Chain A
Amino acid sequence: MNTGDLITHLGRVFPDTPDHLSELQARLAAAAERDSTLDIAYRTIDSPFGPLLLAATGRGLVRVAYATEGHDTVLQGLADRISPRILRAPARLDAAARELGEYFAGTRQAFDVPLDWSLAAGFRRTVLGRLPEIGYGHTASYSAVARLAGSPRASRAVGTACATNPLPVIVPCHRVIRADGAIGAYLGGPEVKRALLTLEAAA
């Protein structure tokens, strides 16, 4: 046997075992959580609108993302803006996943999980903070939200705040529609916005 063959065999002596590696990954995520070195934990959940990415810091839920945003892109954004210490670690998202499941099933109208607002600052943060005041099953216009946020002429900025909402569904930017009743834009697509409003109207 020549050296090349031997080296090929060496590579096979310790075969890749995906199941074993995912078990090690899970153990690592749990150890990192105990060790407080895990800055951002994430998982994906199934929703009626495709997979949703949920990410949380130690302070609370920091990001919810539809697949249309590209989950890898979103995670890279979190690495750039908050910390690259990011692991798939479902346990930290258990409560958020449960509440969202209940919401999509029509049995929950408001969310209790702690939120981390790191990704929203200034006027956008102010706007998003007022959105939970639009009750479940109700809608408000961009200009009404602008008034609510204390800047009656800033309805365009309200649109921007909604378009860059880091916590869609949880922070109900889908309840903000145009003054003429048109549905308006949405990060998950207008059809998802319409479906969420239909869900809330039915419950």
Chain B
Amino acid sequence: MRGKQPFEAVVAAHGSTVLRVCRAVLGPADADDAWSETFLSALRAYPDLPADANVEAWLVTIAHRKAIDVTRAAGRRALPVAEVPEAGAAPAADSGGLDSDLAGALGALPPKQKQAIAYHYLAGLAYADVAAIVGGSADAARRAAADGIARLRRGYAAVTTAEGGSR
């Protein structure tokens, strides 16, 4: 009988995606802590995970909760929109230019839109799974992602025009 994979294989297969999701939802500064908390918590619960579970959706669900914890622990004040002025100055550490502007624009989105984009487009989850994580219906999750993408496109179009076209 072949049971569950060693947890190391889970980290190897999904570590990169979970890190991307944490960075997208929290910004680069808090992403590492959220990643560590996510996998430590997942390791604890791993033996009880049903054999047929969608491991990626399970990990993103944990990451979503940890991101909320990390945000609270960091004592984030005010509403997400209050972060807009700083957002452009919160780039992904190792990317510059357009990508860093895009990271900033993503950081400035309302949480629901940011989460829907991260979980659907970066983690590849179906909207039904996204809805199970963020609450609401699959349609609402789809709309949140579409609204967020539309906002990013508007902001990004301005940047690419200003810089003389995309790369």
Contact = CB atoms under 8 A, between A and B. Distances in A.
A177 interface: no
B7 A84 contact: yes
A3 B3 contact: no
16 contacts: A1-B157, A11-B122, A13-B92, A14-B122, A15-B95, A24-B32, A31-B36, A35-B44, A42-B8, A75-B8, A75-B9, A76-B2, A78-B6, A79-B6, A84-B4, A85-B43
Chain A contact patch, size range = 35 or more
Nearest to B152: A6
Classify the interface of chain A: helix, strand, loop or mixed: helix
Contacts of B121: 7, 10-11
A152 B32 CA distance: 60
A7 B156 CA distance: 12
Contacts of B36: 24, 27-28, 31
Interface in A1-49: 1, 3, 5-7, 9-17, 20-21, 24-25, 27-28, 31-32, 35, 37-38, 40, 42
Q: What 8 A-B pairs have minimum CB-CB distances, sorted nearest first?
A: A86-B6, A84-B4, A14-B20, A14-B23, A75-B6, A79-B6, A13-B103, A80-B3
Given A1-B166, A14-B20, 13 more contacts: A1-B160, A6-B153, A6-B156, A7-B121, A14-B103, A21-B16, A28-B11, A35-B40, A40-B6, A76-B6, A80-B2, A83-B47, A84-B47
Interface in B3-59: 3-9, 11, 15-16, 19-20, 23-24, 28, 32, 35-36, 39-40, 43-44, 46-47
B130 interface: no
Contacts of A146: none
B133 interface: no
Contacts of A3: 149, 153
Given A86-B8, A87-B11, A80 B1 contact: yes
Contacts of B4: 79, 84
A79 B7 CA distance: 9
A32 B41 CA distance: 9
Nearest to A55: B6
A12 B149 contact: no
B94 interface: yes
Nearest to A8: B121
B99 interface: yes
B40 A25 contact: no
A37 B40 contact: yes
Contacts of B47: 83-85
A9 B98 contact: yes
Given A3-B153, A15-B95, A86-B6, A24 B15 contact: yes
A13 to B, nearest CB: 5
Contacts of B7: 84-87
Contacts of A85: 7, 43, 46-47
B6 A12 contact: no
Given A10-B117, A25-B11, A37-B44, A79 B99 contact: no
Nearest to B120: A7
B62 interface: no
Contacts of A83: 47
A40 B102 CA distance: 41
Contacts of B144: none
Contacts of B100: 13
Nearest to A32: B43
